[in-house]
Structure 1
Amino acid sequence: MPPIPDDSSRPVSEEDRDTAIERLQNAYSRGQIPHEEMDGLLHQALTAKTYADLATSLASLPEEQADTSTIGALSGRIRRRGPWRVPRNLKVESAFGKVHLDLARAVIEHPVVDIELQLTTGQAKITVPRDAVVDVEGLRTVWKDSHYKPRRPSRPGGPKIRISGTMGFGRLKIRHARR
């Protein structure tokens, strides 16, 4: 869950509420929360109106370990496709080469996936699930703009894919899977 903002009286978003509930469920499955407390903490998270209320339900949890992986190559290709497991945070580094991440059949266990691109030259192509919501606001490009045409999700509940980082002299193409 993101840090509590300075204005802790600000209303909670559904995404923040979902993230908090996921953290509680994960802590329970790891045995960090006893059964007797779980119902009360879930109720607190579900009924939280402000960030301060939400923080109260998560206060007793140990700090969450970040699920982060880095894929890097100096040159050549970086390719992931098929049923691969996508971490919560994925960092992709390439100096000279092509990157192709196909998330269409990947196992995505998190409601939000952050992909950080650090690419000097070359091109990158990311295929996202059909029902994914893509956010490219955190991506900086030097030479060419990224190519992404947002589409309306075909059904609710798809993952949110946030793409950030820096692209040097290359192009990023993002497309939704057809099936």
Structure 2
Amino acid sequence: MTPSQEDPPSPSLSEDDRETAVRRLQDAYADEHISHEEMDARLGQVLTATSRSDLVSALDSLPAVAPDVPSTIGAAGGRILRRGAWRVPRTLKVESAYGRVHLDLSRAVIAHPVVDIELQLGTGGARITVPRDAVVDVEGLNTGWKDLRYKAPRDPHPGGPTIRISGAMGFGRLKIRHARR
């Protein structure tokens, strides 16, 4: 076989690939699709994998992953409020023409390492409280009338989720703060 006929080398694995594979195994175990012994063996495969094909073989025969369907919260006017122990979806769209939005993620159940929040707000303002150890990314946000108010913590706590905020704000202001505890 000549070098041009050989299979191309598989791309290297990222930490996200490994984390996703570990999460799939943990979910399959929690849903009783695999035994504890089988999960241990497959975790060993995932953690020592050197290529994507190694990951595929470790995840073979697991139930298919449901597609990521964004959840939408919307209101023409009034207030949108989420606080307490609510489950945060992987992708959340928030739409409001005139109302105010308050999302408190400090006590929410966040099962994903990255959460995308897309804001489509007209004249109302928004306030988002993120967990103390969260990393906030607002690069995808377009503010129209007023500037964003967010101050990253001086002493970040690693290991928290990444909250990516995107979309468009009309005449309202977005305030983001980290929870104190």
Which TM class, normalised by the smaller chain length?
Answer: 0.7 to 0.9
- Note if contact 1:131-1:158 (Cα within 8 Å) is conserved in structure 2: yes
The verdict on how the C-alpha distance between 1:58 and 1:178 changes in structure 2, with shifts beyond 3 A counting, is same
Q: 8 Å contact 1:131–1:153 — kept in the other structure?
A: no
The equivalent position to 1:88 in structure 2, one of 69, 87, 90, is 90
Runs (5+) with no aligned partner, structure 2: 1-8
Mean CA deviation greater in 123-132 or 25-34? 25-34
Distance of aligned partners of 1:174 and 1:30 in 2 relative to their CA distance in 1, 3 Å threshold: same
Structure 2 residue aligned with 1:142 = 144
Q: Could you say if the C-alpha distance between residues 131 and 36 of structure 1 is closer, same or farther in structure 2, counting changes exceeding 3 Å?
A: closer
> Is the aligned partner of 1:16 residue 2:17?
yes
The structure whose residues are more often strand, as a share, is 1
The match for 1:115 is 117
Tell me the amino acid that sits aligned with residue 63 of structure 1: A
Work out the CA distance in 1 between the residues paired with 2:28 and 2:155. Answer: 30
In structure 2, which of residues 39, 50, 72 is the aligned counterpart of residue 70 of structure 1?
72
Check if 1:58 corresponds to 2:44: no
Separation of aligned partners in 2, 1:133 and 1:48: 28
Query: SS of the counterpart of 1:158?
Result: coil
Structure 1: which amino acid aligns with 2:164?
R
Gap regions ≥5 residues in structure 1: 1-6
Number of the residue aligned with 2:49: 48
Q: Which has the larger radius of gyration?
A: 2
CA RMSD, aligned part only? 2.6
Specify whether residues 30 and 130 from structure 1 end up closer, same or farther in structure 2 by C-alpha distance, changes over 3 A only: same
Q: Deviations over 1:29-67 (max 9, x none)?
A: 223335554233212222234555444433543332236
TM-score (norm 1): 0.79
Q: Which moved more, 1:123-132 or 1:169-178?
A: 169-178
The size of the alignment, in residue pairs, is 172
Structure 2: how far apart are the matches of 1:49 and 1:170? 48
Tell me the amino acid that sits aligned with residue 39 of structure 2.
M
Distance 1:101 1:74, change over 3 A: same
Distance 1:32 1:138 in 2: 38
Once residues 146 and 86 of structure 1 are traced to their aligned partners in structure 2, the CA distance between those partners, rounded to angstroms, is 22
Which amino acid counterpart does residue 130 of structure 1 have in structure 2? Answer: R
Q: Classify the secondary structure of the residue corresponding to 2:85.
A: coil
